[in-house]
Structure 1
């Protein structure tokens, strides 16, 4: 679950950069398929936090 949280955190950064036109043509493609997340990259960051919290909750040590 930590891997999922890390991937979501990276995706949040990519959506943020795409929204501010900082990653070139990749940003246009990214915003075309994930327009809602380009407008609100905070939603993906919240999902990353929830995934990390869930991973801590279910980890058994």
Structure 2
């Protein structure tokens, strides 16, 4: 679950950079397929936080 949380945080950064036109032509392709996430990258960040919290909650030690 921590892997999923990390992937969502990385995707949040990618969508943030694409939404602010910081990664060139790749950003146009990213925003074409994930337009709402380019407009609101914090959705992915919140999902990553929830995934990390859930992973912490269900981890067995």
Shorter-chain TM-score: what band? over 0.9
Gaps of 5+ in 2: none
Aligned to 1:21: 21
Q: TM-score, normalised by structure 2?
A: 0.99
Aligned to 1:32: 32
Residue-pair matches, total: 61
Superposition TM-score, scaled by structure 1 size: 0.99
Give the root-mean-square deviation of aligned CA atoms.
Answer: 0.3
